[in-house]
Structure 1
Amino acid sequence: MDQHKTALIVGANGVIGGNLARHLETLNDWSVIGLSRRGGQSTGKIRHISVDLLDPTDCLNKLADLTGVTHIFHAAYQERPTFAALVAPNLAMLVNTVTTIEKVARNLAHVSLMQGYKVYGAHLGPFKTPAREDEDNHMPPEFNMDQQAFLQKQQQGKSWTWSALRPSVVIGTATGNPMNLAMVIGLYAAMSKELGLPLRFPGKPGAYDTLLEMTDAGLLARATVWAATHPQCANQAFNITNGDLFRWNEMWPKIARFFDMETAAPLPMSLHGVMADKAALWQTMKEKYGLADHPYEAVSSWGFGDAVFSWNYDFFADGSKARRLGFHGYVQTDEMFLSVFREMRAQRIIP
């Protein structure tokens, strides 16, 4: 029987952290501690702790008794208005967590870091595709690179190891998350339908036809645990994707059919702008369809949608390294989208 392990999930209420927690709940040899700013209700195998990870003193006070932690899974993220401003808070959360747990958890075995394609400069414009884990770094600022550099230096001479997971856009359900494309598409479709409109792709010219990929949150959870528990994965980074590629010009009609909608020609628009006045419509829809009482700002991630729909260049990475080392998970992307929309309906997030 495998030795019991204790996971500390940093950012446990997000799409990534929440799905990771649910996956670990299904495994008999794990217990889970979730960290977040707003905390949560501890149930079953999951204990939630509310902590300000930007405050070293609060970290020490709240985490000092976590002596049994064996694995840190860092999936926390704080949004800021500029790339430079992202560095300090997102690096500080990782540093404060790792340095605090190192002091108290003698059996710490692994630190898992969640990254993304910003490592490859994907947020700056067209980048080399397929991107591979050994690509050269680009001009900073970039907090993902700073976080990895911290882990590499901190791990030297230690018994614990690290891994870095690099998914594409992560698709899953979670409210209050600033980077949730499924919520963007689901709300945009539901509101368009309510207004009697066709489902128009709102992205930049060219984005409708480019080649890209996504990462299912459940698949990512399985890959994250795999990388954290297999010795051949120690101290390395891995691209984790569904395993297929798509273009919006094929995916968009499938999404429209799910919502029983017609499509129309793409029309570039800023969702952040055109959806800013839709809180009243959302309130009306909640009452009309008996939806869960989430505030509009908790379910709308329009700025993130604008970013994704602006990619008028190919956006994908090479996921073969993980397969070569033993992870063979695969998810069909069109089925993933439809499954997440069904889950959103079951949770009464959309009608």
Structure 2
Amino acid sequence: MSKRSNHAIVFGASGLIGWALVDQLLNSYPTADSFSKITAVTNRPLNFSKSYWPEPDSNRPQLQLVSGINLRHGDGATLADSLKQEVEDIGSITHLYYLVFTAIEDDIEEAAVNRRMFQNVIDALGLVSPHLQFVVFPGGTRGYGIYAAGGSFSPPLNEDMVNNLPLDYAKTVVYPMYRAMLDKASQEKKWTWCEVCPDAIIGFTPNGSQFSLALHWAQYLSLYAYNHAIGPHTKESQATAVKVPFPGNTAGANSLFSPVSSDTIARFMIYASLHPETCGNGRLFNISDNETPCKYGDLWPRLARWFGLEGMGPAEDLQTGSNPLRVGELPQSLSLPLPGEYIARYRAVFEKCGCKNAASAGVGAGTGN
């Protein structure tokens, strides 16, 4: 098939990475002739007019938005039947971008459910998409054992470490299961695959996301500002600066992380999928916006400034610096509401200020993506 006839299908298209991926494809990344068709698949309904994707244009790839596809129902054959009914020209799909993840409280069940969903997609496309060339999915630093007590490895984390997870921990993570499944499914097939591994993802979704770090802080800090009469929809403006402590302890403020924009992830996934000779065969790529990690505490004043606030250090530092704690006394920060608790307590302030979307499409609203 010619390059111009490439047809991308994006599962999880309204999620944090999925939205950015569709957006990049519609904006003709990397070139105007890279793809001719895009099929964006979501579970929850998404109206194109509220998607914030660019309007259709003769110079853009043709977009079909398909909502209501639940990957947890049935098997690959069942899904194949659904896709044949809903997706135009399903047989021409060449590139699969899989951005679906369902969070479940029980880790073992979570891994099993997510593995089965991805297996259903691979099995379905195997039945209806004979021209498939490349499959790519995002893993994450959870695959490096960061949730294990004390961590599994000492940073810096490199790609070779993922195959050395402790067995008890590995069974709670779906990414090794994805790799084994794709290795088996791609044998003697014309397609190949790769995985990208981001740390903290910074990006946009049209209907909220539990995984959006930017949304988490924007929702909290904007509400904190409105609650202190700061913002475009408030009647009065504070004459003095309103200080907002870092909502965590000193260790959290000093912790290192590697943020990466969803656009960067999307572009790399697209690039990798178009270069199977160098990026295929199950390769894993760590990805971030910068080689050097940063600290939450260093970013906090800059984040707060966007919302007219003065970002301070952790409340426990502010307290213990001038008033040392007595034996057995807890730092004041432990009594302050966490961002999620603060939002739940003062959510009505958003509606009073005319910000309905801030109240209804924030953190946690996109759990069905």
Give the structure-2-normalised TM-score.
0.75
Q: Secondary structure at the match of 1:56?
A: coil
**Quick one: structure 1 residues 204 and 123, their matched pair in 2 at CA, closer, same or farther if it must change by over 3 Å?**
farther
Is residue 242 from structure 1 mapped to residue 289 from structure 2 by the alignment? Answer: yes
8 A Cα contact 1:202 1:270, kept in partner: no
Among candidates 76, 80, 89, match of residue 104 of structure 2: 80
Among candidates 14, 35, 38, match of residue 41 of structure 2: 35
Is residue 91 from structure 1 mapped to residue 115 from structure 2 by the alignment? Answer: yes
Output the CA distance in 1 between the equivalents of 2:11 and 2:164: 26
Is residue 265 from structure 1 mapped to residue 313 from structure 2 by the alignment? Answer: yes
Aligned to 1:185: 217
8 A Cα contact 1:113 1:165, kept in partner: yes
8 A Cα contact 2:297 2:313, kept in partner: no
Q: Secondary structure at the match of 1:91?
A: helix
Is residue 157 from structure 1 mapped to residue 201 from structure 2 by the alignment? Answer: no
Query: How far did 1:180 drift?
Result: 1.1
Query: How far did 1:2 drift?
Result: 3.4
Aligned to 1:281: 346
Q: Secondary structure at the match of 2:271?
A: helix
Output the CA distance in 2 between the equivalents of 1:67 and 1:81: 37
Query: How far did 1:203 drift?
Result: 2.3
Output aligned runs, 1:120-269, within 5 Å: 120-124=144-148, 125-126=150-151, 127-135=153-161, 136-138=163-165, 139=167, 140=170, 141-174=172-205, 175-196=207-228, 198-230=243-275, 231-235=277-281, 236-243=283-290, 244-267=292-315, 268=333
Query: How far did 1:4 drift?
Result: 2.1
One-letter amino acid matched to 1:232: T
Q: Secondary structure at the match of 2:196?
A: strand
Query: CA offsets per residue over residues 9-60 of structure 1, 9 Å max, x none?
Result: 1100101000000000012332211112114335733212221101135522
Output the CA distance in 2 between the equivalents of 1:19 and 1:270: 38
Output the CA distance in 1 between the equivalents of 2:343 and 2:145: 33
Percent identity for Structure 1 against Structure 2: 23
8 A Cα contact 1:71 1:110, kept in partner: yes
User: Which segment is superposed worse, 276-285 or 47-56?
Assistant: 276-285
Query: How far did 1:205 drift?
Result: 3.7
- Structure 2: gaps spanning 5 or more residues: 49-54, 57-61, 229-241, 316-332
- Structure 1: gaps spanning 5 or more residues: 305-351
The CA RMSD over aligned residues, in Å, is 2.5
8 A Cα contact 1:11 1:36, kept in partner: yes
Aligned to 1:330: none
Among candidates 56, 59, 67, match of residue 79 of structure 2: 59
Query: CA offsets per residue over residues 276-332 of structure 1, 9 Å max, x none?
Result: 4745733332341x3253654x30249x9xxxxxxxxxxxxxxxxxxxxxxxxxxxx
Q: Secondary structure at the match of 1:265?
A: strand
One-letter amino acid matched to 1:8: I
Output the CA distance in 2 between the equivalents of 1:183 and 1:252: 14
**Quick one: structure 1 residues 210 and 293, their matched pair in 2 at CA, closer, same or farther if it must change by over 3 Å?**
closer
Larger Rg: 2
Residues paired across the two proteins, number: 301
8 A Cα contact 2:220 2:342, kept in partner: no
Output the CA distance in 1 between the equivalents of 2:178 and 2:192: 14
Query: How far did 1:210 drift?
Result: 2.1
Output the CA distance in 2 between the equivalents of 1:208 and 1:110: 40
